[in-house]
Structure 1
């Protein structure tokens, strides 16, 4: 059992300590921003007692998605790049719809 913990501890150290640099910190910051979109959506839905997607959901999606795309490009990960680039298009399109709707309502 001690061998399992030593192996796991070594792996965790290699992944989370030895690799820690500015790019990994950027990746974590991006992930926090990206995760915040779910937090604001959840809070808005709980307050309204129905499913709500506030504009800030799309703002956090764009900020987190853009930073994650930068990180994915740096890491040269084609799956991560394709996923984030495609998502950014959708997030930006939703912001476009929101702004257009607000202009028409004004």
Structure 2
């Protein structure tokens, strides 16, 4: 592992009050997990407003970023967990492809939910 990412494996001392061993990579992983899970709240709100099932573009952005963040945690942290890598490869690929299709279908700047 290169020296420039090694510091992300060090414990963040000022978060010791939590009782958890938190590192920079874990913060990246936590943020990715919250983003990946939070996309369902975005989809729920958009569907509730439209009164029908819709998937807004923000759902795909959150899917891509959340998947890539958790994937990077499993790839580059001291943990280097192959189960986590496999678990996040497919969602990252499908989210990127779905975002590509959404942009291709509705255009780059249009950000309304799919009907």
Q: Same fold (TM over 0.5)?
A: yes
- Hey, which bits of structure 1, 4+ residues long, moved more than 6 A? none
Greater Cα shift, 56-65 or 76-85: 76-85
Aligned to 2:91: 87
Q: List gaps (5 residues or longer) in structure 1.
A: 1-15
Using structure 1 for the length normalisation, give the TM-score: 0.75
**If each structure's helix is expressed as a fraction of its own residues, which one has the higher value?**
1
Q: Deviations over 1:66-91 (max 9, x none)?
A: 00000111221111101111111100
- Which of these two proteins has the greater Rg computed from alpha carbons? 1
Q: List gaps (5 residues or longer) in structure 2.
A: 1-17, 108-115
Q: CA deviation at 1:17?
A: 2.4
Aligned to 1:13: none
Higher relative contact order (CA 8 A, sep 6+): 2
> Which of 81, 86, 96 lines up with 2:100 in the alignment?
96
